[in-house]
Amino acid sequence: MAQSIGETTGTFMLSKEIDLLMAERARLLRVAGAAAQFVAVMDSRNLPEKVATEAEILAESVNALPEDTLKDALVSISTSAG
């Protein structure tokens, strides 16, 4: 069965949107991976008081990530380092 031009265009647009979303996911995973690594090594006692709230939000956000997402995030920074 042949596809109409509208179906082909729709499929193409959906494919491009998926590509954009996957690229954005990759960038967000890098951010999450870097944040997770930072949280893992930071010593909150040595942070300036004026960033304590943000550091706590960051740590809580990283800790709230699903395990699979966190693993993907850490892999994304380990494979791109160097």
Tally the domains of the chain. 1
52-63 and 5-41 helices, crossing angle to 10°: 120
For residue 76 the two structure tokens come to: 């994304």
Q: How many CB atoms lie within 10 A of CB 47?
A: 13
Distance CA 82, CA 79 (A): 8
26: pLDDT strictly greater than 90: yes
67-80 and 5-41 helices, crossing angle to 10°: 80
Q: What integer is the mean pLDDT of 35-39?
A: 96
Digit-coded pLDDT (tens) for 66-78: 999 999 999 999 9
Residues spanned by the domain of 20? 5-80
For residue 24 the two structure tokens come to: 């954005």
In this prediction, residue 36 has a pLDDT band, given cuts at 50, 70 and 90, of very high
Distance CA 41, CA 47 (A): 12
